[in-house]
Chain A
Amino acid sequence: MTPLELIAGALIALGAVFFIAGTVGVLRFPDIFCRLHALTKADGLGLGLVALGVGLLAASPGAVVRIALVWFFVVVASATCSHLIARHALERARRERS
Chain B
Amino acid sequence: MKTTDPATDRGLGADTPSLPAALTVIPEPAPPAPPRWRRFLVAVLVLALVWAVLTEFQPDAWVFGGPAVIAGSVLLALLPASPGWRLSPGGALAFALWFAVQSVRGAVDVAWRAVLPALPLRPGFRHHPLRLPHGAPRVMFVNTITLLPGTLSAEIAGDEVIVHMLDTRADLDADLAALEARIAALFALPQS
Interface residues of A (CB under 8 A from B): 17-18, 21-22, 24-25, 28-31, 33-34, 36-38, 40-42, 44-46, 48, 60, 62, 65-66, 69, 75-76, 79-80, 82-83, 86-87, 90-91, 93-94, 97
Contact = CB atoms under 8 A, between A and B. Distances in A.
Contacts of A48: 103
Contacts of B8: 94, 97
Nearest to A60: B56
B114 A25 contact: yes
B127 interface: no
Contacts of B142: 83
16 contacts: A22-B110, A22-B111, A22-B114, A24-B115, A25-B110, A28-B119, A41-B109, A42-B114, A44-B147, A45-B103, A76-B143, A79-B146, A83-B152, A91-B155, A94-B10, A97-B7
Interface of B: 6-8, 10, 50, 53-54, 56, 103-104, 106-111, 113-115, 119, 121, 123, 142-144, 146-147, 149-150, 152-155, 162, 164, 166
Contacts of B166: 34, 37
Contacts of B54: 62, 65-66, 69
A79 B154 CA distance: 11
B103 A62 contact: no
